[in-house]
Structure 1
Amino acid sequence: MHIPKKGLRALGIAESYSGREHSTLAGIVMRKDLIIDGCAFSRVAVGGMDATEGVLAIVQTLDRRDINVIFLSGCVIAFFNIIDAERVHKCTGLPVICVTYEESAGLDGDICHHFPGDTARLDAYRRLGDRVSHILPDGQTVYLRSWGLDPADAGRLCMAFTHEGKIPEPLRVARLSARAAHDFAR
């Protein structure tokens, strides 16, 4: 993948969750020069185990062959509904980068507390692996997991799509879109 390429396209997927039965996912296709040229939505169950299907539904709805990378705003969404990013990578053939913004000791204890005995959910979380910290040019830190590309390239792609603050633009716009769609559906 040629990271300096101006027409490089990322699909950013983020959610809006407010404690209801469903969480809204928004997918935004954005070129590196900030041109938006695609949008799709899906819903997942709060506390469910269908987040991966929700992400794949967005990819299928868009039906685009020009997307170069998928950014996820976290892999644990909608009250511990875990995205299997490895499966997303294998099903799409695209590199996947999961971006989070806070240092954490992990969610094992929280999962065990809220879902006692749910070993499938705990195993899905543990399969995500460790996050790698990446310092952006302005000194802010993001935490990345990646599939289909090495952590250094994941960091470079994150920087290439981050123009202000620490949220890559496709994820920032996807989060705003998910929130608007979620609020509209109320």
Structure 2
Amino acid sequence: MIRKVKPQIRVVGFDDGTFSFSSKLSGEKTILVGVVMKGSQEVVGVLSRWITVDGNDATDAMIEAINSSRFKDLRLILLKGITYAGFNVVDLERLHSETGLPVIVVIRKRPDMEGMERALRKHFSDAEERIDLLRKAPSLVELIPEKLYIQTVGLKADTAAEIVRVTTKTGLVPEPLRLAHMIASGVMRGESTRE
């Protein structure tokens, strides 16, 4: 339980690498990178795993990366959205319960849930399972009108908002997520892309 948000709170932020349309068809993998930081100031370490494009292994990869890591003082997980590697949907409740850590999902644009559900039903035999994960995710909380939203599991929204503030250094996205994006895209493309 996080009672007081300290500027040096230890968090891990996950983002995935880029992938091509053809990799969606052939079940290829992309990298999942977790950056461990003290607040927004100091990088403590990096976690990485490979996840299947449009697969269903992102939740397992995150749980395994966190639970098997040397970083036993983590207080929180930051995610950049709920889908990774295409439509590899994260089970937020399971991620929270199996790591014992609260989860904050940071989203820049309000998702088009109807469009996502249509796409899932059109392309996936297990569409209903993926849609269930999307639907059971907590409601969006708008932090900055039309620019930044969060979802939280295991944490009150006001505490989550404070953690987002404390872990953000440049722009709108928390530093662990910004750096995870740069590292993951750098691994997959040979050069990092803009957040």
- Please name the residue that 1:93 is paired with: 100
- Please name the residue that 1:115 is paired with: 124
Q: 1:152 is paired with a residue of what secondary structure?
A: helix
**Alpha-carbon distance between aligned partners in 1 of 2:166 and 2:146, rounded to the nearest angstrom:** 15
Question: Aligned pair count?
Answer: 180
Spell out, residue by residue over 1:142-164, the C-alpha distance to the aligned partner (whole angstroms, 9 max, x if none): 11111110111111111111122
- Select the residue among 75, 79, 83 that pairs with 2:86: 79
| Identity percentage of aligned residues | 29
**Structure 1: any 5+ residue segments left out of the alignment?**
none
- Select the residue among 61, 64, 69 that pairs with 2:71: 64
**Alpha-carbon distance between aligned partners in 2 of 1:73 and 1:123, rounded to the nearest angstrom:** 19
**Structure 2: any 5+ residue segments left out of the alignment?**
191-195
RMSD over aligned CA atoms reads 1.8
- Please name the residue that 1:141 is paired with: 147
**Alpha-carbon distance between aligned partners in 1 of 2:118 and 2:148, rounded to the nearest angstrom:** 22
| Contact 1:39 1:62 (8 Å CA) reproduced | no
| Contact 1:11 1:71 (8 Å CA) reproduced | yes
Q: TM-score, normalised by structure 1?
A: 0.89
After TM superposition, give the deviation of residue 33 of structure 1 in Å: 4.7
| Contact 1:27 1:41 (8 Å CA) reproduced | yes
**Alpha-carbon distance between aligned partners in 1 of 2:169 and 2:109, rounded to the nearest angstrom:** 19
Q: 2:73 is paired with a residue of what secondary structure?
A: coil
After TM superposition, give the deviation of residue 183 of structure 1 in Å: 3.3
Cα pair distance change 1:104/1:81, threshold 3 Å: same
Q: TM-score, normalised by structure 2?
A: 0.85
- Select the residue among 50, 53, 59 that pairs with 2:57: 50
- Please name the residue that 1:163 is paired with: 169
Higher mean C-alpha deviation, range 8-17 or range 112-121: 112-121
After TM superposition, give the deviation of residue 60 of structure 1 in Å: 2.8
| Contact 1:38 1:62 (8 Å CA) reproduced | no
After TM superposition, give the deviation of residue 49 of structure 1 in Å: 0.8
Stretches of 4+ aligned residues off by more than 6 angstroms: none
AA matched with 2:31: T
Spell out, residue by residue over 1:130-183, the C-alpha distance to the aligned partner (whole angstroms, 9 max, x if none): 221112xxx773111111101111111111111221111000001111112223
Spell out, residue by residue over 1:52-91, the C-alpha distance to the aligned partner (whole angstroms, 9 max, x if none): 0111122134232211111011111112110111111101
- Please name the residue that 2:188 is paired with: 182
Cα pair distance change 1:33/1:44, threshold 3 Å: closer
